[in-house]
Amino acid sequence: MLEFLASNDLARIAFLALLFVIVVYAGVTAANAASRRAAIKDELRAISGRDMPGSASRLTDDKETAWTRLADRFEKSGFNLADTRGGELRQKLIAAGYESPAAPKLFTLARLAMVFILPGFFILLFSAAGYELSLLQLYLVGVGLAVLGLYIPNLVITAKADRRRETITNGFPDCLDLMLVCVEAGLGLEAALDRVGREMALSHPLVARLLSLVTLQLRAGAQRDEALRKMAEASGVDEIKSFATLLIQSDKLGTSMADTLRVYAAEMREKRRLRAEEKAHRIPVLISIPLVLCMLPTMIGVLMLPGVVRIVRELFPALSGGG
């Protein structure tokens, strides 16, 4: 492969262009992550009252970006980017962290783009390499890459949603412990959510964002049960859904909020410990796979090599001489 890249100018240019695109994408992703983290910090500072009045509304404001303008241009040109399963896709994107109203359209646009980009890049690469494909091969490979490009955005969104749910699940027991301390100190539920959300802005920003959204909705006049249910839907985590239901029932029945938080915090910590133990017990099984594939053939070769050498030196000449 290296010799081919060194000898073919077009293939080398295509490889360098692909490498440049990967590096630029990694840089843009890192910059977006840093800017998102800084935006969360600014929004939480705004909620605490250390920013300009009215700036906390930026937490839910829709920011027009170049991507949303691009999606609008595509729709104006005649392309319909609306998905038939709009509600399900919307929930899936929210679970992955994409809360913008234009996220479903951008997701559909990305899928359409990948359908054409992957086959086009394949044809360009093979044309630059000088390979000739038959019409049937070109059709089969093009269809396969188009289908792959159609499903790659789904895989990316699913992976991001799983990582986000895992992050929220691991950070939520700490949130419950802090909330228990605040409630036992005499704070109400809304004040406790606000305080814990500001305290966890650096350690667990996703959990802090959920709590801050609940606080804003309660301050805007929403009912407590409605705000808690929206938090559970935005998180996409079963434990938080159970927590929201528990708080709603505790509020309606008039039971002690501190006792409820104490019991559920202990249960969440126990579940986190069990998940850690489960991952620890999986390590020997996972290690055995590379052990068998890599070390076992080497050990067999080392043990059998002296016998093979002896057979080649002594037995083969004896057999040939006896024949």
The pLDDT assigned to 144 comes to 85
pTM of the model: 0.60
Q: Indicate the length of the chain as a whole number.
A: 323
For 42-72, how does the pLDDT look when each residue is reduced to its tens digit (9 = 90+)? 666 665 544 433 333 344 344 446 667 767 7
| The Cα angle at residue 207 between residues 205 and 212, in degrees rounded to 5 | 90
Structure tokens at 211: 């709590």
| The Cα angle at residue 202 between residues 198 and 206, in degrees rounded to 5 | 80
Q: Which residues contact 41 (CB under 8 A, 6 or more apart)?
A: 201, 202
Strand, helix or coil for residue 205: helix
- Long-range contacts formed by 276-280: CB under 8 A, 24+ apart: none
Of the given ranges (24-33, 68-77, 180-189), which has the lowest mean pLDDT? 68-77
CA 53/CA 50 separation, integer angstroms = 9
CA 213/CA 60 separation, integer angstroms = 9
| Contact yes or no for 94/236 (Cβ under 8 A) | yes
The pLDDT assigned to 58 comes to 44
* pLDDT surpassing 80 at residue 278: yes
313 to 7, 51, 53, 61, 303: CA distances (angstroms): 44, 85, 90, 81, 17
From the list 130, 11, 127, 19, the residue with the least C-alpha distance to 2 is: 11
186: part of which helix (H) or strand (E)? none
24: amino acid identity, one letter: V
Domain borders along the chain are 2-162, 169-276
The pLDDT assigned to 92 comes to 80
From the list 230, 70, 96, the residue with the least C-alpha distance to 163 is: 96
Confidence of residue 136 (pLDDT cuts 50, 70, 90): confident
Share of the chain above pLDDT 90, in %: 0
Q: Report the Cα–Cα distance between both ends of the chain, in Å, rounded.
A: 47
User: What average pLDDT does the segment 269-275 reach?
Assistant: 84
For 165-182, how does the pLDDT look when each residue is reduced to its tens digit (9 = 90+)? 888 888 888 888 888 888
* pLDDT surpassing 70 at residue 323: no
244: part of which helix (H) or strand (E)? helix 238-253
Structure tokens at 155: 């895989």
